[in-house]
Chain A
């Protein structure tokens, strides 16, 4: 055990002394999440909204003006009745509808609280969520202004506007926050598979692998010792991505953290074994990098349902996609984080990942040994 510990310590030193590795490990996840997050959720300038305002009082008109003057929204339709809502959404001419009650200003002034309804078009879930978040922020700001202005009756406290949000067409938010699970899948694949294949190839390239093989360390110990630090760092990365998703993009976390942690660990293990498999073939760091990038990163981005919905892929590509762990891992994260479901719903995906882990680690250990024959 002492032997193994000495070896793991060495690997950690390699990692933190190499600025490039550190950058890939910790800079890239942050940049990628933010980048994907904002790229996939932007385009909120001048979004068309519909207003249904039966009250037409000072408060509701001021709030409407405030929304419009923010530059994010443009009133495309002034609806007269709730029945007009459906056709407006269906036409696709509006992205968001704001519905006031008939006594908005009155209740706000006298009871200190009023309700409004925000309805988003969830067939474009990323945009809808962003719009609602923006609108909520503006409404919050309006409350404070309203309280300070002399318009309101003597108020002891800030009036409360309760915004109730609804998603149309896509109430389960299927594909909402697609990018957080996607980026997590990508990053973990990158760190676990690519980095391990590179670090193992590096020992070969430098000739230090021979020294290790001649030592009493067993091949399995060498592989474990080299991958353990990356497993630990990947875990840290997963936590970082989830945290950014929740804090910056308002990603929900409805399921159990324990289950999420376990599933991440399982997925990382699969990725690690793939990395080891690649390194048993690749002789140089460059070769390892190319093989991992082409055979792992591309399918993870393109085929797993991260960028393009799998439902709209040709059947053939859907079938190809099932061969990659990411395809199974994305539904797991979405299930745990967004739907809050447990293992009883995710057992199939989990079982597939377990199967992949067993197969890949088996093949790579065999490959690693056969090199010595």
Chain B
């Protein structure tokens, strides 16, 4: 089987500090893969290696079948990325942001136009198309940012705490978008702080001090730790460490 993401003892050290310690896992196409861990557990570093931003110290990683260490530029064309910090430019309008990302990813002008129309319609943002993004509520911005990350039809999308600071209702709507994308075969790798969101994932990995301490479906994980919810799993795991 061709995995969407595959790592083999992926490691990153900064001097004496090992941020990511020989992690190995596979993510299947169309899977929603939760990437959990406390602050400083190494999630962001791992994500940076998978997106070609950081070179691994040792080990290997393949994203969309491409060796990240050798051809990071090829990986970049095939992935989408949305970060915890806001990914859109506030002083550009909704339409200009869409056009910018379309342009950066090398889409044709006609494609950008038609995609903009569909996207605005889908998010019901038509009335705000020519307003600066700074005026949009946070939840709308996040949905827009996610849709923009999907604009060039990537096979894999990395979401780095996409819902932080968003109200529960909007978070739920955001997850609807994630499911929708997964249904079309897009693989999603999501980091999050919200343990209720971990339940929405197909499978979840929990990182502690640079290592993956647990990796399973949320249901199996709860069973294994005799916990009622993912929050309890997380706390029990953290206590062990």
Contact = CB atoms under 8 A, between A and B. Distances in A.
Contacts of B83: 207, 210-211
B53 A216 contact: no
A307 to B, nearest CB: 37
A16 B99 CA distance: 18
Interface stretch (A5-13, A154-162, A339-347): A5-13
A2 B106 contact: yes
Nearest to A221: B104
Interface of A: 2-3, 5-7, 9-10, 13-14, 17-18, 206-208, 210-218, 372-373
Contact of B76 (A206, A208, A215, A373): A215
A373 B49 CA distance: 10
B199 interface: no
A224 to B, nearest CB: 14
Contacts of A17: 91, 132
7 contacts: A6-B102, A13-B92, A207-B83, A207-B87, A214-B52, A214-B53, A214-B81
A207 B104 contact: no
A215 to B, nearest CB: 5
A206 B86 contact: yes
A43 B84 CA distance: 59
Given A210-B83, A211-B83, A372-B53, A7 B91 contact: no
B55 interface: yes
B225 interface: no
B77 A6 contact: no
Given A206-B86, A207-B86, A10 B81 contact: no
Nearest to A215: B104
Contacts of B128: none
Given A206-B86, A207-B86, A211-B81, A216 B103 contact: no
A285 to B, nearest CB: 14
Contacts of B89: 10, 14, 208
A214 B103 contact: no
B112 to A, nearest CB: 9
* Most-contacted residue by chain B among A2, A3, A13, A215 (CB, 10 A): A215
Contacts of B92: 10, 13-14
B100 A6 contact: yes
Interface of B: 51-55, 73, 76-77, 79, 81-87, 89, 91-92, 96, 99-106, 109, 132, 158
Given A13-B92, A372-B55, A214 B100 contact: no
Contact of B91 (A2, A18, A212, A216): A18
B81 A216 contact: no
Contacts of B73: 216, 218
A216 B106 contact: yes
B53 A210 contact: yes
B106 to A, nearest CB: 5
Given A211-B81, A211-B87, A6 B103 contact: yes
B86 to A, nearest CB: 7
A214 B104 contact: no
A7 B103 contact: yes
B156 to A, nearest CB: 12
Given A6-B104, A210-B83, A373-B54, 6 more contacts: A7-B100, A206-B86, A207-B83, A210-B81, A213-B53, A214-B158
A208 B52 CA distance: 16
A3 B104 CA distance: 5
Determine which residue in B82, B89, B109 has the highest number of CB atoms from chain A within 10 A of its CB, and name it: B89
Nearest to B112: A6
Given A13-B96, A216-B73, A207 B91 contact: no
A9 B89 CA distance: 13
B91 A206 contact: no
A212 B89 CA distance: 12
A2 B86 contact: no
Contacts of A212: 104
Nearest to B103: A6
A5 B103 contact: yes
Contacts of B101: 215
B79 A214 contact: yes
Nearest to B78: A216
A91 B102 CA distance: 74
Nearest to A212: B104
B55 A214 contact: no
Nearest to B108: A2
A217 B104 contact: yes
B51 A214 contact: yes
B103 A373 contact: no
A372 B86 CA distance: 21
Given A206-B85, A216-B77, A216-B106, A10 B100 contact: yes
Nearest to B99: A6
B224 to A, nearest CB: 34
Nearest to A211: B87
Nearest to A16: B91
Nearest to A203: B89
A13 B91 CA distance: 8
Given A10-B92, A13-B96, A216 B105 contact: yes
